[in-house]
């Protein structure tokens, strides 16, 4: 790989900034910590391989999220892996009500991973606080369609929590 030292530094910065975000997106998609780490790593391998080709037509974040979303979609080809509900072993939850928080976090990721594929990606990007215009650019949906979908998915997730509480 003939990338300059400057590129390598740029990459290290991107890796530090985006690792958690990309991991969460993958985790929302498969709900399996090891598998999610794998996809996140594959994403950064693609980022590294294509960084010199990035022309700044979109923000670097949008570009990385696009690569990650597509790596998630490609998991359909790995038929042997079955998702399971769990938290990464190195997850740290501190403070009051941490048990409840932990349970709700597990539930949220489980509910998301049970949605249809594109909806998993859309809601993960929304919860990552990406502007809806950016989400539309990543997925290829129209902005209006994105907005409608986000609204419906949130309603569905809240409903799932309510049903679970009963």
Partner 1 sequence: MINEIDLKKLWGNQKTNAPDLAELFQRVDKFKKKRLRTLIKLNICLLATALFIGFVWYWYQPEMITTKIGICLVFLAILIFLVAYNKLYPLFAKPGFELNSKHYLQQLLHIKAKELYLQKTMLKLYFALLLLGICLYLVEYTSRMELLWAVVVYSVVLLWIGFNWFYLKPKINKKQNIHLNNLIEKFKKIEEQFKTNQKP
Per CB under 8 A, residues contacting partner 1 are: 1, 12, 15-16, 19-20, 23-24, 27-28, 33, 37, 41-42, 44-46, 48-50, 53, 63, 66-67, 69-71, 73-74, 76-77, 87-88, 90-93, 101-102, 104-105, 108-109, 115-119, 121, 124, 127-129, 137-141, 145, 148-149, 152-154, 156-158, 161-162, 165
93 in Cβ contact with 101 (< 8 Å): yes
Q: What residues have CB less than 8 Å from 32, skipping those under 6 apart?
A: 81, 83, 84, 86
Q: How far is CA 70 from the centre of its chain?
A: 11
Q: How far is the CB of 86 from partner 1 (least distance, A)?
A: 11
Helices 5-30 & 60-73, crossing angle to 10 degrees? 50
Q: What is the DSSP string of 100-118?
A: HHHHHHHHHHHHHHTS-HH
Q: How far is the CB of 93 from partner 1 (least distance, A)?
A: 6
Q: How far is the CB of 51 from partner 1 (least distance, A)?
A: 11
Q: How far is the CB of 120 from partner 1 (least distance, A)?
A: 10
């Amino acid at each position: 790989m003939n990338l300059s030292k400057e590129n390598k530094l740029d990459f290290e910065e991107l890796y530090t900034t985006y690792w958690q975000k990309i991991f969460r997106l993958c985790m929302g998609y498969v709900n399996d910590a090891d598998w999610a780490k794998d996809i996140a790593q594959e994403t950064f391998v693609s980022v590294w391989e294509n960084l010199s080709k990035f022309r700044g037509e979109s923000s670097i974040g949008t570009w990385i999220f696009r690569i990650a979303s597509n790596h998630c979609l490609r998991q359909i080809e790995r038929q042997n892996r079955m998702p399971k509900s769990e938290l990464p072993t190195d997850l740290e939850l501190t403070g009051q009500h941490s048990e409840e928080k932990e349970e709700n976090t597990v539930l949220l990721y489980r509910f998301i991973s049970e949605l249809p594929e594109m909806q998993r990606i859309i809601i993960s990007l929304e919860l990552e606080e990406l502007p809806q215009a950016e989400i539309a650019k990543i997925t290829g949906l129209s902005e209006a369609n994105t907005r409608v979908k986000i609204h419906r998915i949130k309603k569905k997730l809240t409903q799932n929590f309510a049903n679970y509480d009963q």
